[in-house]
Amino acid sequence: MKGKKKDYILLKIATILIIFIFIFIAQRSFDAYIIRILNLCGIYVILGVSLNLINGFTGQFSLGHAGFMAIGAYVSALLYTSPEIKEVNYFITPLIWPLNIIQIPFIFSLIMAGLVSAGVGFLVGAPCLRLKGDYLAIVTFGFSEIIRVLFCNLQSITNGPLGLKGLPSYTNLWWTWGIAIFTVWFIKNLINSSYGRALKSIREDEIAAEAMGVKLFYHKVLSFIVGAFFAGIAGALLGSLVMTIDPNTFSFFMTFQIIIIVVVGGLGSITGTVIVGALFAILMEVLRSVESPMSLFGLNIPGIPGMRMLLFSILLMIVVLFFHQGLMGTKEWSWEWLYKKLMGNKKEIEEGS
């Protein structure tokens, strides 16, 4: 109880300030390639944490995250892109009115992306969440495939498989890291609240939770909607980062990546998800070297695309075999822990001098 009284305001302000300064410097002086990786770190953190809310904390195994990202990416792209670029893109089938003349600021398009995605999350979640376990996984997987196929065929809205190209690049570190921090803060507060306890009780034992008066349907849909909201925003950020989207960007492969992040980080640990989410983005780039042609012990190996994912699969298997709970399990990093570390070091320094 003593720990709860302290809220380490100074430490929080200092941390935020450090991040603030880091983003400021990074955005100005790092080269574009590094900035892009850092942006991806932020986006993967948002995706991982939001999926962890559904899969790890509520215990509802969903495979539909790519679908929500697709919705977010398309909704925002259609809203922030200028009418001229849209006209260039839709040269086969023109874009329907009023989308063809609309242009709104990036921030509002992000909010719209989140809201539409959350709305779809409700529509999908309401019937699906009556299912459990494997069945829920299959149905949500089906949902994300339906979204993909639908977007391939709704030519007058999504431009079909041609996708949208030349999107303006609004995404920068302020957006991705800012929203990532907000997401972590929001979901951490949610799971530590009374609602969070209810969500975790559903994961632990649905029958007992319901007998204690927890409304199963309401709480499952709640976690689904919140997860979908942030997935939608992450999709929107990704769209503006890579500046081109097509339905196949959001295939099952995308969901699989986020599942890796969540499972390796630990179902039920935000800290683990954040660490692994950031590492994943970095490793995806670093490991590009294994896909290029190389010579090993005199053997010439041609570049094999997809080798990275093989390595990730091996990593996933190692984690599943040796760390059943993921790297962090359900443990969380806390301000208290950081405080003790810092204070402990200070004491050592004082003693040393």
Chain residues that interact with another protein, rule: CB under 8 A: 186, 189-190, 193-195, 197-198, 200-201, 204-205, 207-216, 222, 330
In the numeric block, which tokens belong to residue 113?
A: 């992306």
Q: Which is nearer to another protein, 84 or 204 (CB)?
A: 204
| b/e per residue 283-308 (b: at least 16 CB within 10 A) | ebeeeeeebeeeeeeeeeeeeeeebb
Smallest distance, Å, CB 165 to another protein?
Answer: 38
Q: Which is nearer to another protein, 41 or 198 (CB)?
A: 198
Q: Which is nearer to another protein, 26 or 190 (CB)?
A: 190
* Helix/strand/coil for 300: strand
Q: Which is nearer to another protein, 70 or 225 (CB)?
A: 225
Residues near 166 by beta carbon (within 8 Å), at least 6 away in sequence: 85, 88, 89, 243, 244
Residues near 242 by beta carbon (within 8 Å), at least 6 away in sequence: 249
In the numeric block, which tokens belong to residue 36?
A: 């892009």
Smallest distance, Å, CB 204 to another protein?
Answer: 4
Smallest distance, Å, CB 15 to another protein?
Answer: 18
Smallest distance, Å, CB 100 to another protein?
Answer: 35
Q: Which is nearer to another protein, 115 or 282 (CB)?
A: 115
Smallest distance, Å, CB 208 to another protein?
Answer: 4
Segments in 30-60 forming alpha helices (H): 32-52
In the numeric block, which tokens belong to residue 6?
A: 């302290």
CA 264/CA 315 separation, integer angstroms: 8
Cis peptide before 105 (omega within 30 of 0): no
Smallest distance, Å, CB 218 to another protein?
Answer: 9
* Helix/strand/coil for 245: strand
Q: Which is nearer to another protein, 210 or 285 (CB)?
A: 210
Beta-strand ranges (E) seen in 228-319 are: 294-296, 299-301
Q: Which is nearer to another protein, 70 or 222 (CB)?
A: 222
Smallest distance, Å, CB 221 to another protein?
Answer: 11
Burial class (CB in 10 A: 0-12, 13-18, 19+), 101: exposed
Amino acid at residue number 217: F
